[in-house]
Amino acid sequence: MWPSFLATFSWILLFGYMIILSKSEVNYDEILHEENEKIRIERQKSIKAQWNLESNITDYNEELVTKASKEYDHFRKQQYNSIKQYLTDEHKQNMTKNQRRQFERLGFLGFSILDENEGIEFKNIQIQMEKIYSGATINTELQTNLTLEPDLTEIFATSTNESLLKDIWIKWRDVTGKKMRKHFVDYVYLGNKAAKSLGYNSIDDVWMFDWEKDSIKQEVERLLNDLMNLYEKIHAYVRFHLAQNYNQSMPNDGTIPAHLLGNMWGQTWSNLLSTIPTMQLKPNLPSLDSEINEKLQNWTVKQMFQMSEKFFNSLGMENMTRQFWEQSIIEKRNDVEMVCHASAWDMFQMHDFRIKQCTRKTLEDLVTIHHEMGHIQYYMNYENKPAVYREGANPGFHEAIGDLMSLSVITPVHLAKVGLLNRSQIEQNLDDLNLNYQLRMAMDKIAFLPFSFIIDKWRWDVFNDDKLTNHMNRHWWELRLKYQGISPPIKRSEKDFDPGSKYHIPAGVEYVRYFVSHILQFQFYKHLCQNVTKMDKLYQCDFYENKMAGKQLIEMLQKGSSDHWENILKDFIGTSEMSTDAIYEYFAPLNRTLSDFIMNNKISVGWNAKVDDYFIEEENSSGSTPSITMNIFILTLISIFIMIS
């Protein structure tokens, strides 16, 4: 009996050893190389279809996007089934850290986890919402078929006609958000279903996968709270000047009407410095935008892009590729309907990177060009990484790189270097120009922060509370009143869907990336300015032509998402913590000046608003989920019929 037991035990040991040996002999690098190449090819097909649709919105291109999305989801399910055996602890313990990271990213299905019919429905909902948004036009008393870009954007940037601005504000929301409300409810239902299939609670949990930090939502709110003191001063300063021009339109609760801020969504306010010159801290000087916009009328749009390329090249970065210049769309095409929202594209094909932008000859769009080209530089620098690493360290990194360049580009000193400002004027009035410049930057950068937080705070709340689908618009205005101190020009109701008037809602793009980018860009800027260029005054720093700054940037960009973003952040600037310190240092002169102005003019700071004052309670028109169920049922019947026939 004893020898028999020993023999059996020996066989068990041998069998266990063979299992361990077989796992240790798996060539993980070879598998990863094959799977990364597969996903690169499939992403290429999907992105090409999306590019074709956004640059030429037709029913045919819609069908191709739906087909490509279906094929991509099918591929991802197949890929997951082929690699899930390597996601076990037994295999992971035999992998390097890099191998584990790649397998885990390949194993995350995201919304591809939906079954075929639900996946098609989910994509079609997004297509329909984007189509409503991109095809929207309005009429005024004097003009017809006005589009967002460039028509309505231009009016908001240049007009002080309060009744016209109010009319446009209302009509834009009527032809966008109001028409997609029911679609959005369906989108939430299916997106949450996908999230639950992945073991999460809601859509935002899927979005947060790339952030790799459970506390990121709380951290973002902490950062916003740190900056509210500065925001409230800017809000009070702007409200004071608006009251002098629009006294009859200003509420008594301290809020600012949303249509008076020079932007369709009240997210950036710097256009006011051109329409209300007395708002400048030094009004005797022309606004940066007015002077530069006038000079840009003598430029071509391509020259604006070449100026941006030259800036990146001066840091030692590569020029744009041949494919970039051949395939990019840098001016609005009048022969087709297209999505004008500026965007940068990695086509996942060798050297094929593109920008799509309906460019206007303005300083604002020149800044946008640098932002989008920052994305392209990121794409170019991590092009040779495995496909699963061809992303920013986190989504906010990607947005921060272009904006980092803009911080340098838009300094008065740099604008003089490139011939957009008069050098003698700079030399004579540098301190005053810098104060005006700081105010302009704050009215874009700081004013934007509560808005960028609200976009996703609102979605996080809606995704996680079924009851809010009946009160979506009310909750939207609760948040805008609370965090931004901005009110609607007329009472709203649940028949409206005002969040849908902003592109990123119908497009399903998470927005906290833009908030984080506004924090990181100042941390990046401080590091490059004080540790590389040795500039004392942060707000005057221009690292144009500084190859050392470029070298450090390139090293960071080339990593893509190959490591946790906090590690990449620490390697780049010496700390893994996000902080508002750099922002307060950058805006220190403005902060002091605003405090003095507010005290000297006895301006009250803050607001005390109630949503009930701006909202009409009535039966909502949110729709319900049965429409989804019916659509999926019909798709299922069609599939069965095809199989039978």
Q: Is 399 within any annotated ligand binding site? A: yes
Residue 559 tokens read as 């990593």
Q: What are the helix and strand counts (H, E) for the chain? A: 27, 4
> Is the pLDDT at 631 greater than 60, yes or no?
no
**Most distant CA pair in the chain, distance:** 105
Where residue 10 falls among pLDDT bands split at 50, 70, 90? low
Compare 319 and 625 and report the one with higher pLDDT.
Answer: 319
> Is the pLDDT at 551 greater than 60, yes or no?
yes
For the segment 345-351, the average pLDDT, to the nearest whole number, is 97
> Is the pLDDT at 110 greater than 80, yes or no?
yes
> Does residue 458 contact residue 580 with C-beta atoms inside 8 Å?
no
Is residue 345 within a helix (H) or strand (E), and if so which, with residue range?
strand 343-346
Give the C-alpha separation, 377 to 388, whole Å: 18
Supply the pLDDT for residue 143.
Answer: 94
CB atoms within 10 A of CB 31: 17
Residue with tokens 């309005």: 138
Give the C-alpha separation, 85 to 94, whole Å: 13
Predicted TM-score of the model (pTM): 0.89
Q: What is the pLDDT of residues 522-550, one digit of tens each?
A: 999 999 998 887 777 898 899 999 999 99
For the segment 586-615, the average pLDDT, to the nearest whole number, is 97
Share of residues in the chain with pLDDT > 70 (%):
92
Of 380, 392, 390, 387, nearest in space to 37 by CA: 387
Share of residues in the chain with pLDDT > 90 (%):
82
> Is the pLDDT at 640 greater than 70, yes or no?
no
Q: What is the pLDDT of residues 193-210, one digit of tens each?
A: 999 999 999 999 999 999
> Does residue 608 contact residue 254 with C-beta atoms inside 8 Å?
yes
Of 583, 587, 605, nearest in space to 223 by CA: 583
Residue 69 tokens read as 């999305």
Supply the pLDDT for residue 163.
Answer: 96
Residue with tokens 């500039």: 535
Supply the pLDDT for residue 507.
Answer: 94
Residue with tokens 């009110």: 487
Q: What is the pLDDT of residues 228-255, one digit of tens each?
A: 999 999 999 999 999 999 988 899 999 9
Where residue 8 falls among pLDDT bands split at 50, 70, 90? low
> Is the pLDDT at 285 greater than 60, yes or no?
yes
Supply the pLDDT for residue 13.
Answer: 52
> Is the pLDDT at 594 greater than 80, yes or no?
yes
Q: What is the pLDDT of residues 41-98, one digit of tens each?
A: 999 999 999 999 999 999 999 999 999 999 999 999 999 999 999 999 999 999 999 9
Residue 642 tokens read as 């095809």
In one letter, which amino acid is 617? E
Where residue 7 falls among pLDDT bands split at 50, 70, 90? low
Residue with tokens 């590019």: 51
Give the C-alpha separation, 420 to 363, whole Å: 10
Q: Is 513 within any annotated ligand binding site? A: yes
Give the C-alpha separation, 393 to 142, whole Å: 48
Residue 196 tokens read as 């639950």
The chain-wide mean pLDDT, for the chain, equals 91
Residue 55 tokens read as 């640059």
For the segment 435-458, the average pLDDT, to the nearest whole number, is 96
For the segment 24-33, the average pLDDT, to the nearest whole number, is 90
Q: What is the pLDDT of residues 376-416, one digit of tens each?
A: 999 999 999 999 999 999 999 999 998 998 899 988 889 98
Residue 588 tokens read as 């220190």
CA distances from 508 to 192, 397, 487, 502 (A): 13, 19, 25, 11
Helical packing angle, 565-573 and 547-557, nearest 10°: 160
Supply the pLDDT for residue 639.
Answer: 46
Supply the pLDDT for residue 620.
Answer: 47
For the segment 300-326, the average pLDDT, to the nearest whole number, is 97
Q: Active-site positions?
A: 372, 504
For the segment 589-593, the average pLDDT, to the nearest whole number, is 97
